Amino acid sequence: MSIIDDLKYIHRKDASDALGIAEKQWQQLEYEFNLPDQKYEVDNIVFTGMGGSALAALLSKTWPGYKVPFEVTRGYHLPAYVGKRTLVIASSFSGNTEETLSAFQDAKSAGAHIVCVSSGGKLAELAKENNTAWIELPPAAQPRFAVLSSFKALVTILEKAGLVNHDSAEKEIHRTALFLKKHLESYGPTVPTSKNLAKKLALDIIGLSPVIYGGPLMAPAAYKWKISFNENAKNVAWWNEFPEFNHNEFLGWTSHPIDKPYAVIDLRSSFEHERIQKRFDLTAKLLSGRRPAPHTIQAEGDTLLEQLLYTMALGDFVTLYMALLNGINPTPVELIEKFKVELSR
């Protein structure tokens, strides 16, 4: 029996019940944010945030899409074009992310419309001081465990503002929550490895450095897998997306050594462009024997949103099981916290 089928071992190592949080993450999509309708006359939207906070915005570029130009910035400053006809959404789970607080000041100086998203912290204080809209996120053990609530908050903001390219986003989110509930149960710790895709994949790639690929629609999920390998499993990982991959990184796999210490994971969606599908197939053919054979994850679901969130959530389970195989508690990110303390001095 694998150690990830040993419930006593799991409970001892996963002291914060990260697996339980992953299994219940569908509930975040059902969270109701109290936000009045607010129409903005804007030419563009800029979302500023870091890490898991930025991930919600990247997901939204795949679904539901936008009626005006939308840009995600991850840094201290906003683009020079931000002005009075820009909606700036400043997001930080803790509310204390220094890059986001700096970007807020840029937005204020530019006279932009601003909406803040956080669980509290200095960002909430700035919102109140400046009479700016603020959405309060529900508590979570770590920001990366709150991606779906951040995503729901963002879609709520944009749907009420009439800025998303979708007629009934909130209804589709509810349907997707029920879809996720059903599927995530099959990856829980009580489901044995023989019937558990997440456990099987974790066992297949333990000891290797994962490289995750997605097409344009699944790229945010590929990025989330990378984040989760880093923060959950404390394992280095990389990601990239098609078709850009075929214009450069593709050749990087052709040199020695042939026996490379990586695990390649392809995230495939039936909604990707037919040329993207062909690129995945042709890449696997031409790189056969030059890199490890890819583990192909075919997204489940009848809608783009279902496939996107299913694929992302599966990665959460894979990386949590990899953490347990690595013999570590997946929840703490002690070195990041130490880095923040050192940086503040």
* Overall residue count recorded for the chain in this entry: 345
> Can you list the positions of beta strands (E) in the chain?
44-48, 70-73, 86-91, 113-118, 133-136, 209-214, 238-241, 262-268, 295-298
Helix axes of 304-325 and 197-205: crossing angle, nearest 10 degrees:
50
User: CB neighbours of 169 closer than 8 A, spacing ≥ 6?
Assistant: 64, 155, 158, 159
Q: How far apart are CA 337 and CA 296, in angstroms?
A: 34
User: CB neighbours of 156 closer than 8 A, spacing ≥ 6?
Assistant: 33, 35, 135, 170
> Partners of 291 in the beta sheet?
288
Hunting for tokens 């009626």 — which residue is that?
67
Rg (alpha carbons) of the chain, rounded to whole number? 20
3-state secondary structure of 114: strand
CA nearest neighbour of 220 among 234, 201, 240: 240
Catalytic site positions: 231, 247, 340
Count of CB atoms situated within 10 Å of the CB of 34: 7
CA nearest neighbour of 339 among 119, 50, 59: 50
6: exposed, middle or buried (Cβ count in 10 Å: 0-12, 13-18, 19+) = middle
Q: How far apart are CA 295 and CA 211, in angstroms?
A: 10
Helix axes of 304-325 and 219-231: crossing angle, nearest 10 degrees:
20
